[in-house]
Chain A
Amino acid sequence: MALKIVKGSIDRMFDKNLQDLVRGIRNHKEDEAKYISTCIDEIKQELKQDNIAVKANAVCKLTYLQMLGYDVSWAAFNIVEVMSSSKFTYKRIGYLAASQCFHEGTDVIMLTTNQIRKDLSSPNQYDTGVALTGLSCFVTPDLARDLANDIMTLMSHTKPYIRKKAVLIMYKVFLKYPESLRPAFPRLKEKLEDPDPGTDAESHLHKCNIAKVSKQRDYASMQESLRRCDFFAVKYLGLLAMSKILKTHPKSVQSHKDLILQCLDDKDESIRLRALDLLYGMVSKKNLMEIVKKLMLHVDKAEGTTYRDELLTKIIDICSQSNFQYITNFEWYISILVELTRLEGTRHGHLIASQMLDVAIRVKAIRGFAVAQMATLLDNAHLLTGNTQRNGICEVLYAAAWICGEFSEHLEDPMQTLEAMLRPKVATLPGHIQAVYVQNAAKLFATVLQKHEGETESQAAQETSQLLIDRLPLFVQSANLEVQERASCILQLVKYIQKLQQKNVEVAEEVTALFAGELNPVAPKAQKKVPIPEGLDLDAWINEPPSESESEDEKPKAVFAKEEPKHSRSRHTEVDEKELARRREVRKQEQANNPFYIKASPSSQKVYDAPGVEHIPVVQIDLSVPLKVPGMPMSDQYLKLEEERRQKEKAERKKEKKKKREKRGKERKADSGPESEEDIAPAHQVDIVTEEMPENALPSDDDDKDPNDPHKALDIDLDKPLADSEKLPVRTHRPELLKSPAEDRDSESVPQETKKKSGKEKKEKKKDKEKDRKRSKEEKKKKKKHKVEEELLESQPEEAVQSEETKEAAAPPTSTSAEQEVCVLMCVCLQEVTAPSSAAAAVDTSSATAPESEPDEPKDTEPEDTKSSKHKKKKQKKEKEEKEKKKKKRHHHHHQHHGDAGGEDSVQNGTVEEEEPLPPMSNYSLLAENSYIKMVYDIQGNHQDESKVVVSVIFENKSDSFLKSMEFNVLDSLNSKLQRPEGAGAHDSLTVPFQLPPGVSNEARFVFSVQSIVMPQKLKGTLTFIVKSDESSTHEKLDFKLHFTCTSYLITTPCYSDAYAKLLESGDLKGSSLRLEGINMPFHHLLARICFHHHFSVVERIDSCASMYSRSIQGHHVCLLVKTSDQTVSIDAKCDEPSLLGNVLDEIKQTFSKC
């Protein structure tokens, strides 16, 4: 070992440290990547070494490389190793690296729980601080759940440095584990009201919707900043402030409209954007047109596409906000939209398009106008598409074509529009737009037919058919599947119609019927609101899910389908029927999902020269002013018109009012103030089609909430009283349904077997790292030859163990084999690296005896036959050994978990280093037992309520029958009462919330309220249950006595030496003492026992003398000074409640008398 250390430090001398690495990278500017990759190789070597200093150095370098963009997650496990170093220097490096690269997906993160818990309760405040800081960066829901209670304890730490951090991190914990908010809230509130200046950061928590005043955090510092800050910041902040005021006092901001518009000219983009934001909030019916006009001017002036795009979206946002609330004249709005299409290089073509569609569909009165505008747009499409750079804007053609087609009855000259839509140049448009063109050409065709139907000379109709037949082949050859399909379909249709026309058959009506029916907009949330019909299970499989192999088979099929268009470009009719049916299905689905029928799928836009296209004359309209679409009414004109109209209206209204007033006398007050919003009537009857909702839609209010808002989870009613189920998990036991022990054991025995086979290899194939860690420790222990203990272990109860065990097994359900390997490795390393601290934490061992709770247990209660059946598959000779091992392992679990619960922190506090490990301990003691059922129980105080204790009872079904309808009842005393649900009588029994199949055990918790805690107490109770076997069922009953010791009212509470000294000095405490003779165990075992069984924590330990502390649920302080010499232990104790102290000491004495 010594040699290793020497070797390590020599290695270290040659290792690069962070500075060397940085220097090296700077010296290799030209081949940086290569240099770094050699460095990473070196780091990998360093990480393989045993020396923790070398490892820490390597991890530190990795942190630097992470900043440069290198993924270092492969070293996550090494980071955990460094984190668990006992030295602050390395621990800090480890936590830093973890905070830089751990996240919820990091699998080793769940291995850190115990380490973090240990650091949190470390006597060194900086260990705690570093752990809190690290945790704040990578806390996961699991960590939050497991550590919430520990962190809550830290909120009343003696050091303000820790308190402050603990309070801050609670916010993160709430976000990850919202259930913790309600139980933690009272203490949090207390902390917030705490005038202690050390915790100024606590006001941060206001953000958790607790109090929304975070903005006023540091008024003083802000003022200082204002002084220091430049003018631009002030301008920016002024605008920001205005947007806040706007929400409450819109009028006062609106008067600064001009000022804000001026800010749009500012050279600072941040300020311009702020101003834009503000404008959004301050438009009204009255000023909308004016503001938008100003914005349009800016659009023309704007440099840089980003800002111009921002302007464009803002204009659209402003106009369309709250369902076009502020638009009084939709003609104006359409003109604005059309003007916006002139923008060069905008990315927002689709935005304009969707607005056009929206308005045209929903505002019936505007359709005529919109259609005329869109027809002009289509006619001048080349202006939009001329430049390939301006691709984005051609999206508006999609809208234009659809509007012209759908509302073609408003078209003045459908023939001309039809011609415009079938120009060869259209073929250069993106596929999804062409598809709309084709489809709507058919609609126009129907309109034309209808118009000319009945005329004797149906020349026009026949010309139209011919036009379509001439032009459509261009589209039939399109590379785009959608276009090609639609075009060929329509082409055939037109050909057929042409035939009929030649026979003078009237077809118009039937063709129109193809496109009959009106589309109504569907409300965005309509789908969500459709109530699920009764009896419909959406999660159920309709057909059996396809097996893996099938899905693989499908892949090549999909590829084939994709390639298909190439083959069938010219002869699509060859496509087999199945394929057609499939396509039809797809199309139907698309149509169902898209109110506009058209699937907007971008695709390649290849042009295929088809025979017969060249001879079509391409008419290019040459315009001298290319950017002004001819015949377009400019939006400005509307502004003028609108103003005039309003003037007129106003005047008329006044007149009317006058008349009225004359008629009615002076009943009404004069309305001389400025024109109010409501007075402005829309220019023409605007009929906004309401969005459709499904019949009997479910009313729901939660629509507006953003499902991604991380704070949503915190919308919790904080005023409701706490339910028991809500209390923070106090680590000992979580009621969880347990697997049958049989299953459990089977799964474990597999790794067991491999373990036998070879020495080192065995570690690589374990199910669960926790288990494994323990197992390897077990081996160590073996070496130490605690044979006596092993025998004793055998006789320990099984049932209490099971709950822990199953939980452990269930905890990492996602573990993959690789992960397991890593974990196993980790455990081995952890052991070597951190033997003094973490190993000691996990394994506290002293052989001597089983703890108090065990002795009255009967020997191995498990029936032998069940056992053997479980191991049928195993070889007989191995069976016995395995059994033994398993048992031991299980005990370890058990014990470890309990160690976590109470003993752990304290043991660390006691600086147990490199001493003999402690034996497993359990606080569960037998409650009652008969041939059917066995109950063991443990009583725990509850932090959150000073008058409650939780009794955890594990029920184990020992019989071969099914146990159900278990009812638990206790005869209340004046002092202690079982908490029953509201409405239940004082003598009613509580139903145990589960049933027990044979051999299964499960845990239930019962809450008792206690008044005085200074005396121990016994409560009589009864458990009744029904035993159900195949033939019969019987009603059974089991009496028990619940023993509330004074110890069970104590809660392990960390205390630091300075606070401890103060407490003793205060003189409020009364003393007592106790002598124990003939104690034959190491001092640290003694301390660990007191910690574990009596919920104490070690404050300080010097040689053979230790001070300990605990607190009762009602806040009594209990201080112990334990000294030992020659098998004699003397305990001097102080407490503010002498009788409580007396009883606790008696119980301690009893514990050791059993040793």
Chain B
Amino acid sequence: MIKAILIFNNHGKPRLIRFYQYFAEDMQQQIIRETFHLVSKRDDNVCNFLEGGSLIGGSDYKLIYRHYATLYFVFCVDSSESELGILDLIQVFVETLDKCFENVCELDLIFHMDKVHYILQEVVMGGMVLETNMNEIVAQVELQNRMEKSEVSDQ
């Protein structure tokens, strides 16, 4: 099960947070800070897995992250998730973002947090992996966007 998905930049500013387990807002911020602290001090040439965060889930939990340019994509997962599977999922997610936003950059995430959420919703649902096929994800996202557009033109 995925417990949380956090995207923040090199300074620890959150760009998207998605908790699949309830935490109050201040706790969420604390988790973001802690996670940023843990992840940011690691070299880029060490492995993408990290244990020892104390805030979510205790020992049965692990951070799997990737660092792209200015952004960290961090998935907090429990031991039932496959490490490589999640690593791959992050890649799929980022590639999907890239396709949907056409050369995605941090600014896209900053200004379109809602859209990023909608894309993520097609990848992960309630902490469970929903779809790993990028084309399928993109297709569903686009269909929904089209629906939204048709509603706007209806008005």
Contact = CB atoms under 8 A, between A and B. Distances in A.
Nearest to A172: B126
Contacts of A200: 131-132
A89 B16 CA distance: 20
A221 B132 contact: yes
B85 A233 contact: no
Interface residues of A, number: 71
Interface in A639-687: none
Contacts, number: 160
A233 B49 contact: yes
Interface string B62-89: 0000000000000000001011110110
B36 to A, nearest CB: 13
A164 B130 contact: yes
Nearest to B50: A270
B129 to A, nearest CB: 6
Interface string B108-122: 001111100110010
B140 to A, nearest CB: 7
Interface string A127-151: 0001011011101000000000000
Contacts of B111: 18-19, 22-23
Nearest to A138: B22
A294 to B, nearest CB: 21
Contact of B125 (A103, A133, A217): A133
Contacts of A269: 42, 50, 52
A552 to B, nearest CB: 29
Contact of B83 (A69, A103, A105, A237): A237
B128 interface: yes
A89 B88 contact: no
B128 A204 contact: yes
A222 B47 contact: no
B48 interface: yes
Contacts of A60: 114
Contacts of A104: 22
B117 A96 contact: yes
B45 interface: yes
A228 interface: yes
B144 interface: yes
Interface of B is mostly: mixed
A938 to B, nearest CB: 35
Interface in A39-98: 60, 63-64, 66-71, 87-89, 92-93, 96
B29 interface: yes
Given A88-B151, A235-B47, A69 B26 contact: yes
A214 B132 CA distance: 15
Interface string A511-535: 0000000000000000000000000
A215 B82 contact: yes
A161 B140 contact: yes
A926 B140 CA distance: 50
B27 to A, nearest CB: 10
Contacts of B40: none
Given A67-B16, A224-B88, A88 B148 contact: yes
A996 interface: no
Interface in B99-153: 110-114, 117-118, 121, 125-132, 140, 143-144, 147-148, 151-152
A87 B14 CA distance: 30
15 contacts: A18-B113, A18-B114, A63-B113, A96-B121, A105-B22, A136-B125, A137-B126, A161-B140, A218-B88, A218-B132, A222-B84, A222-B85, A232-B45, A233-B49, A273-B51
Interface of B: 1, 14, 16-18, 20, 22, 24-26, 28-29, 42-43, 45-52, 80, 82-85, 87-88, 91, 110-114, 117-118, 121, 125-132, 140, 143-144, 147-148, 151-152
Given A168-B130, A267-B43, 20 more contacts: A18-B114, A19-B112, A26-B110, A66-B25, A68-B14, A71-B25, A88-B151, A96-B117, A100-B18, A130-B121, A132-B125, A168-B125, A214-B82, A222-B84, A222-B88, A224-B88, A226-B84, A230-B48, A232-B48, A233-B84
